[in-house]
Amino acid sequence: MHIHGEIVKPPMVKNTELLEVSYGCSYGKCRYCMFYKNTEYGISKLEDIEEDLKEIKEKNPDVERLFLLGGEPFSLPVKRLNKILDLINAYLPGVDIVMYGRVNSMKNKTVDDLAELKNKGIVNLVIGLESGDDEVLERINKGYDSRQAEEYLSKLNKAGINYSLIYIAGLAGHGEKNWSRNALNTAKLINKIHPTGLCLTMLYLNEGIPLYDEDLKNGDFTEAKMLEILKEFKLLLENINIPIHIFNEEAATLMSIKADFPEEKNYAIKFFDDKINSFTQEDEDFYELYRRPV
């Protein structure tokens, strides 16, 4: 298999075959992100992709799901994506295809483009929204605002492509005014665009990341406490009022929760309520160490 650099995949694609179609991140300007720092962005050669597909077919001819590797392969041009999908369907007809995308991945794709890609096997996208709050989006340099996020992501709804968003609690920093604004504005956006899933994770700051090396050290950003992050999660979920699957990455939060809204909304809120009510200074001290740069 052709693999360049690190493999980053979301929790829902465990035990899924992997196929590299790009590597690194074509954007690479997010001020909080620790991924792909040592991997120069590139697009896989079609002949390499075909070789890997032959290997996957030989090893696992009955594969049902394929995760396309790369920081955001859905940002590839439509023409390139169609060529890749045609190759996949030639070797693994009927396989479900999942990949990462950016909000801006849809900017230059029409609804018809997206519908064609869906018809070729894309069943789900995992998109790092991170926040629906304009102050946060500007600080972390995501390259779009909440209005653009609504416009671009709504194209996926019209094309019938399911997608899950990633939310990073703590990006607004310390203080109830900050984290509550972030949670409420993100919930407002989610209620408008109707994603099928929402992955809850939290901010980690490491050396080599501008938000840590510059903003935090210069005093322009104050890191949220873990108790604030729990309250942020709770407030976010309290204000989501659409059918959606909520889940989190246990390795990233030391918590594990899955809940289908609206049926299990009360369960999810109580989950965080219980953690908030039983939270101690010892817990805060533990998370302070856990979240420090390695």
Share of the chain above pLDDT 70, in %: 96
Amino acid residing at 200: L
- CA atoms of 16 and 32, how far apart (whole Å): 28
Residues 196, 163 contacting (CB under 8 angstroms)? yes
Beta strand 162-169 with 122-130 is: parallel
Question: So what CATH class is 11-290?
Answer: alpha beta
Which CA distances in Å does 117 have to 71, 97, 156, 283? 19, 10, 11, 46
Neighbours of 197 (CB within 10 A): 19
User: Average pLDDT for residues 158-184, to the nearest whole number?
Assistant: 97
Average pLDDT in the chain? 93
Residues 184, 191 contacting (CB under 8 angstroms)? no
The pTM assigned to this predicted structure is 0.94
At 75, give phi and psi (nearest 5°).
-80, -10
Q: Hey, which bits of the chain come out as E strands?
A: 17-20, 22-23, 42-43, 65-69, 96-101, 122-130, 162-169, 197-202, 244-248, 258-261
CB-based burial of residue 281 (10 Å sphere; 0-12 exposed, 13-18 middle, 19+ buried)? exposed
> What single DSSP character describes residue 249?
-
Domain definitions of the chain by residue range: 11-290
- Least Cα distance to 142 among 34, 28, 264 occurs for 28
Q: What is the pLDDT of residues 119-163, one digit of tens each?
A: 999 999 999 999 999 999 999 999 999 999 999 999 999 999 999
Position 288 scores a pLDDT of: 84
Lowest mean per-residue pLDDT among 22-36, 71-85, 132-146, 229-243: 22-36
